[in-house]
Structure 1
Amino acid sequence: MSTPEGEPRNAGAAGGEGLDDAVRSMLLLMPRLVGRAKRIPVPEALRGLALAPRHLSLLACLLLDGPMGVNELAARLEVAPTTVSLMVGDLSRQGVLERREDEVDRRRRIAAITPDRLPAIEAWLAPGAAAWRTALGPLGAEQRRLVVDTLLAYEAAVGRERD
């Protein structure tokens, strides 16, 4: 998809990568990223559980940020509190999460990873977090925001294309 003159579309004056070259690179990279993520083995202690990607996002929030309430989890996951409540209930029944009273506000319930499941969840999710820290660590805050915003824009565009 180059221009008729053979110049890559949107090439920078200093010989930067053209838009089509960047798209090509991403089209090659994304399946490898997904493939690597899918090859991360589920720890033995979690294999019998029915964990979906949405559960992994919830577990990652609790692992990285500690116990929190349903509304706070919903805000971080960008879903409705009822959705989080259902997921927390599901994972509680499977012994992955525990719900306890908030010591400050006894009406509020806090979700936390159970102590016996924590090592398996850490072993499973921590390498991915470490890899992102390695990749994003050298970047400044604005550059990290650009990476995240770009991936969010890609997700939204793919969603529109499929709808």
Structure 2
Amino acid sequence: MSTEQQRGGIDVDAGIRTLLLLMPRVVGRAKRLRVPEELREFALAPRHLSLLAILVFEGPKAVNDLAARLEVAPTTVSLMVSELSRDGLLERTADDRDRRRKIVGIAAAHTDSVNEWLGGSVRAWRRVLEPLTPEQRQLFVDTFRAFEAELAAEHPQ
């Protein structure tokens, strides 16, 4: 990309062309993130990836907080947490402030493996987003969210 394009922007068609080339590469790289050997026994699906990524990035959370972050129903998160807790990948502990409430975290035995596996994405996003202004970050996130919504509308499940 030329310096002029970086400073002055590009037209819509040039942006689309660039993104059409970039998106398959990004998706391909994400798919090639090898699950560490010690995590392969858990048969992790893409839905688990988002849950684990939030726990890596933000630390242990209550089910309702995870549901809000994942933009899904708490029952969906409860099912995932139950499945991964039963297998030993996640652990539930009582909240110190409200003993009835459970906090979900990555089991100590698997923290390093999950961090190694997913931490690179967190670090890459941080390096890309930190130089931007808050407004630029918001525009990027809003645009990416709108793109996902348009794809969903074009190809409903």
Instruction: Please give the TM-score of this superposition, normalised by the length of structure 1.
Output: 0.89
Q: Secondary structure at the match of 2:122?
A: helix
CA distance in 1: counterparts of 2:60 and 2:8, whole angstroms:
49
1:56 aligns with 2:73: no
Pick the aligned partner of 1:21 from 14, 23, 43: 14
Q: Give the C-alpha shift of residue 78 in structure 1.
A: 0.6
Q: As a proportion of its length, which structure holds more helix? A: 2
**Cα distance in 2 for residues equivalent to 1:41 and 1:16:** 36
Q: Does 1:83 align with 2:93?
A: no
d(CA) in 1 for partners of 2:25, 2:115: 23
Distance 1:70 1:37 in 2: 26
CA distance in 2, matches of 1:57, 1:122: 13
Q: Which among 149, 155, 159 is matched to residue 142 of structure 2? A: 149
CA distance in 1 between counterparts of 2:151 and 2:129 reads 23
Q: Does 1:124 align with 2:93?
A: no
Aligned residues, how many?
151
Q: Deviations over 1:3-29 (max 9, x none)?
A: xxxxxxxxx9x9641111111111110
Q: C-alpha distance in 1, partners of 2:90/2:66?
A: 13
Shift in Å, 1:64 = 1.3
Larger RCO: Structure 1 or Structure 2 (Cα < 8 Å, ≥ 6 residues apart)? 2
Could you tell me which runs of 5 or more consecutive residues in structure 1 were left unpaired when the two chains were aligned. Answer: 1-11
Whole-Å separation in 1 of the counterparts to 2:141 and 2:87: 32
Equivalent residues in 2 for 1:30-109, closer than 5 Å: 30-109=23-102
Normalised by the length of structure 2, the TM-score is 0.92
| Alpha-carbon distance change, 125 to 15 in structure 1, aligned in 2, over 3 angstroms | closer
Q: Which structure 1 residue ranges, 4+ long, deviate > 2 Å from structure 2?
A: none
CA distance in 1, matches of 2:52, 2:72: 15
Higher Rg of the two aligned structures: 1
2: distance between equivalents of 1:107 and 1:94?
A: 23
What percent of counterpart residues are identical?
57
Q: For each residue in 1:29-58, what CA deviation from the matched residue of structure 2 results, as whole angstroms up to 9, or x when unmatched?
A: 000000011111111110121111111111
C-alpha distance in 1 between matches for 2:16 and 2:144: 13
The aligned counterpart of 1:110 is 103
Measured on the aligned residues, the alpha-carbon RMSD in Å equals 1.5
